[in-house]
Structure 1
Amino acid sequence: MSQNHQHFRYSTGVIAYPVFFVLLIWIVFWMQVRFFPAIKNFGVYPQKLEGLSGIVFSPFIHADIQHLYHNSIPLFILSVALFYFYRKISWKVILYGILLSGLITWIIGRPSNHIGASGLVYVLVSFIFFKGVFAKHYRLIALSLMIIFLYGSMIWYVFPVKDGMSWEGHLGGLISGLLFAIIFRKSVAKPERYVWQQPDYNEDDDPFLKHFDEDGNFIENLEPEEILKDLSLEENKVKITYTFKEKKD
């Protein structure tokens, strides 16, 4: 498989998986509104055995179109960032994040029906931020700062500051993302090491530096015979032929 083909598949997956995930949530909402309104009741019910199933189903269920809209945009943006920078562990973060954040919600939540993908959104925000900090790599730190710039205000919603909002799910997502950033802290993107940064690098063996002398002047390492051949008038001679056709009256 060529390198270009691999890069194309990688780039396609970065966009395709988040699109598929968000589209699935919208399809479930369409089915909920059109055919099965009772889907809304399959959320997380804390401290109840029947509410455990909501750990899996709740991220795909939303109260209304506004609720769905507010979760879809950050979920798509954060998923793209996750698949681009952390492709090898992206599915683990998403699947385990759904389960762990839902379980925390089930344990600490109020007696209510907790639904929505906001818990997963908090998982992604928390993971991407802390993972960049732990990595100590400028690209990932820049990503962390961008996440704070875009979604830093979300931190207030892990507290009970708004009625009718599952702050427990947000808190569960925040804790889950932090835990995954610690667990997967060894899976960090390492900076590229150029040839001259390698411990065993030798300037005399560098094919590029052989084109320069000690003073940094460019030289051409061709044999004298080859140089003369290239400069030969016979070899570089251009022959131009003019054809004249007499015009007849």
Structure 2
Amino acid sequence: MSALNPPSGATRASLFDQLKARAMLLGLFVGSMWVTFLVSVAIPFLHLNRHGVVPRTLGGLQGVLFAPWLHASFLHIMSNTPGLIVLGWLCMWPRIANFWQATAGGMLGAGLCAWLLGSPYTIHIGASGVVFGYAGYLVAYGFYSRKFIPMLIALFVACSYGVSMLFGVLPLTPGVSWQSHLGGAIGGIMAGRLFYQNPPKRL
């Protein structure tokens, strides 16, 4: 039998393996944020949220890495979870490497922008910057690739999240880190552009 025409059963198994790998990765990623939140609630004296981004302080730079895992309340993490799951899943195709690029772009962009533009003596926490990064990545990749499926996904993201994203990057709501949202979106767009220029060869 030709290697170019694998049995349909093998094709289904391969697709199942891909879906399973992506679902497990996304579950572990989002699940780790929930575990961190539950630990912060159960053991409040750890004061985990102090490890968020503190603008223009040397120690506050640690939040670039840690802030997405820190949330102020149950409502806070609940509001971020759907975007992490839906947009994170879309970022995993065609390769898992896409997801890591989008995540890195969103985290770095959100953290650095909050560190540079945030008000003094504030702490910026939460994964919303990563969500904005995913949205920016998907829109940018669709725009630069000019391929049908990525463009369709970009249109879906723009229609479904566009209005909330637009208002999210503006300083309209007290207590909401618009700096993280803006930086995350910019970081995601830059990552999408980078992926288009240098697509990864493997997963």
CA distance in 1, matches of 2:105, 2:167: 24
Shift of residue 186, structure 1, vs aligned partner: 3.3
- Which of 49, 56, 59 is equivalent to 2:68? 59
Q: Which has the higher contact order (CA 8 A, sep 6+)?
A: 2
* Unmatched 5+ stretches in structure 1: 189-249
Aligned alpha-carbon RMSD (Å): 1.8
Q: Offset of 1:8 from its aligned partner?
A: 2.4
Which whole-Å CA distance do the structure 2 matches of 1:104 and 1:72 have between them?
Answer: 22
Deviations 1:21-69 (A, max 9, x none): 1111110000000013511221100100110111111100011000110
Give runs of aligned pairs for residues 3-152 of structure 1, distance below 5 A: 3-37=11-45, 38-111=47-120, 112-152=122-162
Query: Which residue, 180, 185, 189 being the options, matches 1:178?
Result: 189
Q: Mark the CA change 1:85 to 1:100 in structure 2 (over 3 Å): closer, same or farther.
A: same
- The superposition leaves residues 198-217 of structure 1 with CA deviations (integer Å, 9 ceiling, x where unpaired) of xxxxxxxxxxxxxxxxxxxx
Q: For 1:165 and 1:101, how far apart are their aligned partners in 2? A: 13
Gap change, CA 1:122 and 1:129, over 3 Å in 2: same
Asked if structure 1 preserves the Cα contact closer than 8 Å seen for 2:106 and 2:183, the reply is no
| Pair 1:84–1:182, CA change in 2 (3 A) | closer
**TM-score, normalised via structure 2 length:** 0.86
Higher helix share: 2
- Answer with 126-135 or 79-88: which moved more: 79-88
Query: Which of these residues, 131, 155, 162, is aligned with residue 166 of structure 2?
Result: 155
Structure 1 residue 149, shift from structure 2 partner: 1.8
157 and 100 in structure 1: CA distance in 2 versus 1, 3 angstrom threshold? closer
Q: CA deviation at 1:4?
A: 4.4
One-letter amino acid of the counterpart of residue 110, structure 2? S
2-side partners of 1:12 and 1:59: how far apart?
24
What is the aligned length? 188
| TM-score normalised over the length of structure 1 | 0.71
The letter for the 1-side match of 2:193 is I
SS in 2 for 1:150: helix
User: Which residue is equivalent to 1:223?
Assistant: none
Residue in structure 2 matched with residue 214 of structure 1 by the alignment:
none
8 A Cα contact 1:61 1:117, kept in partner? yes
Q: Any idea what the Cα deviations from partners look like across 1:64-104, whole Å, max 9, x if unmatched? A: 00011000111111111111334233213213431332122
How far 1:187 moved relative to its partner? 5.4
Q: Give 2:175's match in structure 1, choosing from 148, 155, 164.
A: 164
Contact 1:14-1:84 within 8 A present in 2 as well: no
Q: Which runs of 5+ in 2 are unaligned?
A: 1-9
